[in-house]
A and B are shown apart, each in its own frame.
Chain A
Amino acid sequence: MIFKYGDNVDTDVIIPARYLATSEPAELAQYCMLDIDDTFKDKVVAGDLIVAGKNFGCGSSREHAPIAIKASGIKCVIAKSFARIFYRNAINIGLAILECEEAVDKIQPTDEVEIDFATGEIKNLTKNEIYKSQPFPEFMQKIMEADGLVGYIKNNKMKG
């Protein structure tokens, strides 16, 4: 299913600081989105999407936020725009994110959606529509392919 949220979803609601005394992904997932959506944890299943407005992930630099979302099983976050630290963190830990205003405006929670990460195309199978987002630059695609920055550095070290 698709979880839809508004503008400026901050990292304090994605994972409240009172749960930051751990960095275990599975434990963080237990509290993901709790302060704006206390049903999220029980409803979310692997492969679901989050669709949100502008400036998603604003606030704190806590990497626990994308970690909690990824560990919840969310396949991709589509937003009108992302706060910059969240954007970096998501790429660095290998959580897929796409910026696309049209997709956010048109996708409804019950729609079935398919994503082609190579082209940036978001296909709404329910409405039979295609929304185009910018695919990542090649450099970032390589980081994502290596499941994050650490994998990327290791790959490069081996080559060098």
Chain B
Amino acid sequence: MKMTMTQKILASHAGLEYVEAGQLIEVDLDMVLGNDITTPVAIKEFDKIGVSEVFDKSKVVIVPDHFAPAKDIQAATQCKCVREFSYDKEIENYFEVGEMGIEHALIPEKGLALPGDVIIGADSHTCTYGALGAFSTGVGSTDMAAGMATGKSWFKVPSAIKFNLINKPTKYVSGKDIILHIIGLIGVDGALYQSMEFVGDGIKNLSMDSRLTMANMAIEAGAKNGIFEVDDITIQYLKDKTDKEYIIYKADEDAIYDKEITIDLSKVRPTISCPHSPDNTKTIDELEKIKIDQVIIGSCTNGRLEDLRMASDILKGKKVAKGVRTIIFPGTQQIYLDAIEEGIITNLVQAGCVMSTPTCGPCLGGHMGILAAGEKAVTTTNRNFVGRMGHIESEIYLASPAVAAASAITGFISNPEQI
């Protein structure tokens, strides 16, 4: 039938046998997501539509995570707004401080995103759930409002780029290096309006945490969504998280792609995005000596257990360099607890790192680690635009948790293989 994975999921949710790239369709939604920044705008629009209830109380998810715990009075007002709306509309999946986490770390952990689902979220990194074989994409607040009211959304069916992943990455190379490598290859608009479909023998060598990191940054190549083929690793991951049934979609043998790119994972090097664009990539071997002031390990991109474990393995028994503020953001309360039980947090704190509550915080220049003029940071976050983490004259280098941890020890952007 010549359809990609994404096209098959969209066709099924539009009640159609077949869709093709470019077609405008209306689809049924399995989840509508928002946070403390985007939901207040959505609530205003929702009220204008004039319906009294959301389409399904179990399918709307609201997570205050950006400026929460509230960083100032304005943020507190926005959090209050989404809290009151959630209680009033009896939203089943509203996660208050104490239960919450960074939305894209929390939702997979709660088993709320499933293979074959169609998910929209008023947050650009909603594309994260493609790691589980869902069609999941970021939208704005008005789309969120319309989704909450009607349970439907319109889409132009995307074409796709097929990424055929082969072989196994080396010890210190993870999903972050692979996706930065890909963004460097195709550019920040390299997949504009398209799906990035990740398939091939190499995916069995990528953990779910690595896949979540990769799908998360599909938006940084301009993509509508990133999606992984569902395999045993996906099924195993979901086993203790949900008892709901789900449908696994595979691309047709004769699916049409705009382009096919093969990535040999064994050749990917630790990769860094230099200021001020995610596609301005260099391998660790090409990078000159760069002194840093701050290290951030966390975010919806890299705040999962495997990320913290990698940082801990590198920092255990060592000290962060004098003057390098190293701030760790576990993605969720559960990840935090698991990291405590594994001894990860002890290792990190003994090394001189500081722990934060789960929050998007500094990733978008909100709070908990803002940069001054002239400062440089190595961070495991997802964007290094001008002013993203603070002053417009600060600089952000995007990297994996392994590179970030190695850099914290030396005070310079460093190769974890040499620590």
Report A's interface with B, CB cutoff 8 A. 8, 10, 12-13, 16-18, 20-23, 35-36, 54-55, 58-64, 66-67, 81, 83-85, 88-89, 92-93, 137, 139, 148-150, 153-154, 157
Chain A hits for B150, CB < 8 A: 153
Q: Are A35 and B366 in contact (CB under 8 A)?
A: no
> Does chain A have a CB within 8 A of B365?
yes
8 contacts between A and B (CB under 8 A): A8-B277, A17-B364, A58-B188, A59-B124, A61-B122, A63-B122, A85-B219, A139-B24
User: Are A61 and B124 CB-contacts (below 8 A) given A21-B72, A23-B40?
Assistant: yes
Q: Are B41 and A63 in contact (CB under 8 A)?
A: yes
* Stretch of B13-21, B138-146, B237-245 that contacts chain A: B138-146
Give the shortest distance, in Å, between A103 (CB) and chain B (any CB).
18
State the CA gap A157–B123 with chains docked (Å): 27
State the CA gap A89–B116 with chains docked (Å): 25
State the CA gap A8–B189 with chains docked (Å): 8
State the CA gap A21–B70 with chains docked (Å): 10
Chain B hits for A55, CB < 8 A: 188-189, 192, 222
Q: Are A61 and B142 in contact (CB under 8 A)?
A: no
Q: Are B192 and A81 in contact (CB under 8 A)?
A: yes
Which B residues, 165 to 215, have Cβ-Cβ distances below 8 Å to chain A?
188-189, 192-193
Q: Are B154 and A16 in contact (CB under 8 A)?
A: no
* Residue from the list B44, B45, B124, B387 in contact with A85, Cβ < 8 A: B124
Q: Which residue of A lies closest to B193 (CB)?
A: A84
State the CA gap A18–B72 with chains docked (Å): 11
Chain B hits for A8, CB < 8 A: 188-189, 277
Report B's interface with A, CB cutoff 8 A. 24, 37-38, 40-41, 44-45, 48-50, 66-67, 71-72, 74-75, 77-78, 121-124, 126, 138-143, 145-146, 149-150, 154, 188-189, 192-193, 219, 222, 224, 277, 364-366, 383, 385-388, 392
Give the shortest distance, in Å, between A160 (CB) and chain B (any CB).
11
Chain B hits for A84, CB < 8 A: 192-193, 222, 224
Chain A hits for B365, CB < 8 A: 12, 16-18
Most buried by A among B40, B71, B192, B366: B192
State the CA gap A26–B75 with chains docked (Å): 18
Q: Are B222 and A58 in contact (CB under 8 A)?
A: yes
Q: Are A83 and B192 in contact (CB under 8 A)?
A: yes
Chain B hits for A36, CB < 8 A: 386
Q: Are B189 and A23 in contact (CB under 8 A)?
A: no
* Residue from the list A13, A83, A149, A157 in contact with B385, Cβ < 8 A: A13
Q: Are A88 and B385 in contact (CB under 8 A)?
A: no
Chain B hits for A61, CB < 8 A: 38, 121-124, 126, 138-140
State the CA gap A139–B75 with chains docked (Å): 37
State the CA gap A139–B156 with chains docked (Å): 11
Chain A hits for B41, CB < 8 A: 23, 63-64, 67
Chain B hits for A81, CB < 8 A: 189, 192
User: Are A21 and B78 CB-contacts (below 8 A) given A35-B386, A58-B189, A85-B140?
Assistant: yes
Once A and B bind, how many residue pairs between them come within 8 Å at the CB atom? 130
* Residue from the list B38, B49, B50, B66 in contact with A63, Cβ < 8 A: B38
Chain B hits for A16, CB < 8 A: 365, 387
User: Are A149 and B366 CB-contacts (below 8 A) given A21-B78, A35-B387?
Assistant: no
Chain A hits for B154, CB < 8 A: 139
Chain B hits for A35, CB < 8 A: 386-387, 392
Q: Are B75 and A150 in contact (CB under 8 A)?
A: no
State the CA gap A7–B192 with chains docked (Å): 14
Chain A hits for B75, CB < 8 A: 21
Chain A hits for B44, CB < 8 A: 23
State the CA gap A26–B43 with chains docked (Å): 18
Give the shortest distance, in Å, between A69 (CB) and chain B (any CB).
13
Chain A hits for B388, CB < 8 A: 12, 17
Give the shortest distance, in Å, between B149 (CB) and chain A (any CB).
7
Q: Are B143 and A149 in contact (CB under 8 A)?
A: yes
Most buried by B among A8, A61, A84, A85: A61
Q: Are B192 and A59 in contact (CB under 8 A)?
A: no
Give the shortest distance, in Å, between B302 (CB) and chain A (any CB).
18
Q: Are B188 and A154 in contact (CB under 8 A)?
A: no
Q: Are A12 and B387 in contact (CB under 8 A)?
A: yes
State the CA gap A10–B382 with chains docked (Å): 13
State the CA gap A116–B223 with chains docked (Å): 30
Q: Are A148 and B189 in contact (CB under 8 A)?
A: no
Q: Are A60 and B364 in contact (CB under 8 A)?
A: yes
Chain B hits for A93, CB < 8 A: 140, 142
State the CA gap A67–B142 with chains docked (Å): 11
State the CA gap A58–B383 with chains docked (Å): 11
State the CA gap A145–B99 with chains docked (Å): 42
State the CA gap A47–B245 with chains docked (Å): 53
Given contacts A21-B75, A150-B45, 18 further A-B contacts (CB under 8 A): A12-B385, A16-B365, A20-B37, A21-B71, A21-B74, A23-B41, A23-B78, A54-B189, A55-B188, A58-B189, A59-B124, A63-B141, A66-B140, A67-B41, A89-B139, A93-B142, A150-B145, A154-B48
